[in-house]
Amino acid sequence: MAIEKTQQRVDINARKIINGADADVVQLYPMKHTFAWDAYNAGNANHWLPTEINMQGDVEQWKTPGVLTDDEIRAFKTVLGFFTTADSIAANNIVMAAYRHVTSPECRMYLLRQAYEEAIHTHAYQYMVESLGLDSGEIYNMYREVDAIYNKASFILTFNEGIFDPSFKTGTFESDQKFLENIIVFSLIMEGIFFYSSFAVIFGFQRQNKMKSSAEQIQYIMRDESQHLNFGINLINTIKEEQPELWTPEFQQHVVDMVKEGAKLEYTFAAEVFPKGIFGMNAESFKQYIEHISDRRLARVGLPEQFGVSNPFPWMSEAVDLNKEKNFFETRVIEYKTGGTLDW
């Protein structure tokens, strides 16, 4: 990128999420999109590493016959198989799609932090697989071998087509809508639906005092992902404000249809995880939970709810209260300075 020598200072009003390159993407101040700076600082304040969590209790439970049922083992491994793929897909999209086209310096700064957090999450799943002595080939190839995971991954990756092309550029109505579609899919569906239903499975174990160290890592991952989701929603809503012509009635219906399709894929995944049900959770109750969070995601971007159902897992609201977390080194509860929160 060439630098132009000029006496003209950056005009904050010229800054945009996309198509704002003339406002100088390398100069952080003056800052316009302060939500991104807040997210960046929250991520730094809440930094963690999986190796700070002792897995010994989980190892003993996993290896002691009779502690976990066959159905529980299946559910845990299937969810872990999804997670190992999902964060890698998310990280690739940040680097190869979002960062390339976002022209807000503060948003780019948070995207770098977000990409690092996705790497930490990938590390956490590897740490669980290694600690528990799982067959890494089985877990890491589930996205190829298990239809319910393969179908979700394929659906998400469909929306990378074109954007990963080096020749793709924003700046036209069609390309800008394509970029907005990508952010919507990864924020609302991937992080907002696919991740959250799998989080609920792991917290089901935690509520039964099973696999608590793995669940603790997932809780920190969920804290990060709630921040990613909020950031993505802020991106979507800000692009809507800066380029309202993109938010056509047809595109709004397209977004609703995509979310409904994502929910259907997640129903199938729930059936794969819960062929018989565990901990009082089954495929039917998960279908309701998926519909509930789908409605929440639509509402956050100003679209009508489609299902009108209540939350069948009210304890998930407590798990998502990320202002309170267990300290890594103590048993007391502390208040995080800037925890991510999700409007339920």
Q: Which position among 127, 140, 143, 289 bears the catalytic label?
A: 127
CB 295, CB 222: distance < 8 Å: no
Question: Which two tokens mark 49?
Answer: 């590493």
Residue among 254, 95, 242, 100 at smallest CA distance from 169: 100
**Residue 127 annotated in active site:** yes
CB 128, CB 214: distance < 8 Å: yes
CB 104, CB 242: distance < 8 Å: no
Which residues does the annotation mark as catalytic?
127
